[in-house]
Amino acid sequence: MGRLEKLIADFKACSGPFPYRDVQRLLGMLGYAESSGKGSGRRFHNSSTGHLILLHEPHPGNDIKPYLVRQIREKLEEKGLI
């Protein structure tokens, strides 16, 4: 199992917080480019699908909340990326 497959499996199995750094890595491996917005806002744009994911970089912690994990997972599944 390669790195991408392991990261996808971990993300799909996650029901709690997930490390933001791993979300960045996962989205990057799936073709999303990250850009900064105002403050802690981050945009992840996939130029091949035109899909956009908007997030706030978590602070003071390093994990994104479970509801965001579910939302991102649903969108990536809808797009057929995971």
Output the six-digit token pair for 64. Answer: 């994104």
Strands (E), 1-82: 18-19, 32-36, 41-46, 52-56, 63-64
pLDDT (tens digit, 9 = 90+) per residue, 8-66? 999 999 888 999 999 999 999 999 999 987 888 999 999 888 999 999 888 888 999 99
Q: Which CATH class is domain 3-78?
A: alpha beta
Domain ranges of the chain: 3-78
Q: Against a cut of 0.85, is the pTM above it? A: yes
What b/e readout covers 23-46, taking b as 16+ CB neighbours within 10 angstroms?
bbebbeebebeeeeeeeeebebbb
